[in-house]
Structure 1
Amino acid sequence: IGICRRFWQAFSNATAGSPFSRFLSNCPLKKDEKRVTVQMWNPLMPNQDVATFLRRYCTVIREPQTIMHPNGLGSGRLSVIVQLRPDASSPDGLAHLPQSFTLGNSVGILYYPGQPRCCRRCGREGHKAKICTADSCKVCKTDGHATKDCP
């Protein structure tokens, strides 16, 4: 753990000319901080719109940065560091981000290490949306009505 702390101190205090300045990372000692990769199908979606969406579910620590393709073009992928919110009902105590989302007519997916695989329809683990039979709401987290019918 001492080596991790020294590395993180060096990384955090890096100057503009330091080799560390070219990298984007999060503290490996904090389990609630995650480096999230967001893939937007529309590469022209403003980074600020993605950050605003993420703020509904977590705290954005470092604003989204475009991941460039090796040939110098934008890839439609963004990298952002977030802090997940606590959730006592979750097995690991954290409220995880949705795997897929839409902003207007743009579809996006996001992934990060430790992200649980959940049904995109009901938000529960253990099955896929294709075989989901639940009639539950992702907004108020209750059964009995669909998300689109939430009061």
Structure 2
Amino acid sequence: MARRTAPTSVPVIGLANTVRFAWKEKDMEPFGRETFGRNLLMGVLQLRVEDVFCLHDNPLEGAFEVTLHTEEKHEETMQKVRRAEKEKPMCHYAVTNLARNNFRVVTINMYNPHVKEEDVRAFLGRFMDGISSARLLKDTLGFWTGRRSYQALLREDPKGLGGYLHPPAMFSLGADRGTLYYARQPPFCRRCMAYGHILASCSTKKCRYCGSAEHGAGDCDAPKACHGCGMLTHLWRECPARQRSYASAAGGGARAGDGGRRGDPEPRTGTEGADTQRGEEEKTEAGEGKDKEEMGIVVPEEKEAKGEEEKGVSSVEGQERTVVERKETEKASEGKETKKTSKRRETEKASERKMEKASEKKTEKTLEKMETEKAS
């Protein structure tokens, strides 16, 4: 077996019930296969041939990889390795546990096939790590069954069953409901949405949303938590964990009323233009008056000129009043539109909650009917 000094690599998803023994002594020749199996496996670890599924030479890593038949035997072997890691011949090896006992292949069935993969992965991210992309499961004819398969690692939780945090077997993403299952999944109750027992043996009568024993889930008035991140400040459709759509990303959040401009100053009201035009007209009239006097033409009386000037000033003041009134009208209309928009959003949220409660009641009745039929 060739010696290797480079850092060893560990598969992300691991190798079930496998332990790697890499030789770490630079001044000594590594043990051969027969010496390793007789002295270390059979001698120190007290393993029998029947316990070992495979003893594999890995020359790329300069190591032996031992795969055991059962997870129980693997855990027992790792405990012996920890106790004898400072004794010979175990001290000559760098031992690496390649098993990932928290590795699971999760199958998800969404009743709405149009639910995006990013949304499903965002939900799984609350409970699992290293989530792969989805693999669509098809039947023998090649049609997609609506089920998706993901590879992931359960997150460790000392208070959870088996020391892991398990995702709920039944869940909702907004108004879309789904189920999931994986190997070695604990029993799940559809009534209280908890692991450890099933519906037939459930004696708990409490709301699965707020935990109250005074009402059921269909009559719960407590604020709903987001199905994506679990927070109470928003619903699933507004969850930041979801991917932004292309339209929102391309729009850039520009206001609709300003034509997409950002940071532009407010447009001029038009009075400045009127004042400029009036000044130019006055200059033109003064020049024309001088020309007429020089040519001997009779100039109009001062009273008539003053009357015309007063008319011009009053017309400009009228324009200014019109501009101010138009601004006030626009502000009032904007306030009314804002109130209408907020009311419409509240109405949409209320209708969405009603739809969720109705779907939950319908699902509960269907599940109870199925459980009754199974029991009969």
- Stretches of structure 1 lacking an aligned partner (at least 5 in a row): 7-27
Matched, 1:71 2:141: yes
The structure richer in helix per residue is 2
SS in structure 2 of the partner of residue 97 of structure 1: coil
- Percent identity between matched residues is 27
Answer with 1 or 2: which has the greater Rg. 2
Instruction: Judge conservation of contact 1:119–1:125 (CA < 8 Å) in 2.
Output: yes
Matched, 1:39 2:85: no
* Separation in 2, partners of 1:42, 1:5: 46
* Separation in 2, partners of 1:91, 1:108: 22
SS in structure 2 of the partner of residue 133 of structure 1: coil
Map 1:24-35; keep pairs closer than 5 Å.
Answer: 29-35=99-105
Instruction: Judge conservation of contact 1:47–1:65 (CA < 8 Å) in 2.
Output: no
- Stretches of structure 2 lacking an aligned partner (at least 5 in a row): 1-17, 20-53, 58-97, 224-231, 233-376
The equivalent residue for 1:56 is 126
* Distance change (3 Å), C-alpha of 1:133 and 1:35: same
Give the Å deviation of 1:122: 4.3
SS in structure 2 of the partner of residue 92 of structure 1: helix
The equivalent residue for 2:175 is 105
Give the Å deviation of 1:132: 4.2
Instruction: Judge conservation of contact 2:107–2:181 (CA < 8 Å) in 1.
Output: yes
Normalised TM-score (structure 1): 0.67
The structure richer in strand per residue is 1
Matched, 1:118 2:174: no
* Separation in 2, partners of 1:68, 1:74: 4
The residue identity in structure 1 corresponding to 2:135 is Q
* Distance change (3 Å), C-alpha of 1:124 and 1:71: closer
Instruction: Judge conservation of contact 1:40–1:77 (CA < 8 Å) in 2.
Output: yes
* Separation in 1, partners of 2:174, 2:55: 41
The equivalent residue for 2:159 is 89
Instruction: Judge conservation of contact 2:189–2:202 (CA < 8 Å) in 1.
Output: no
* Separation in 2, partners of 1:81, 1:144: 35
Matched, 1:128 2:202: no
The equivalent residue for 1:17 is none
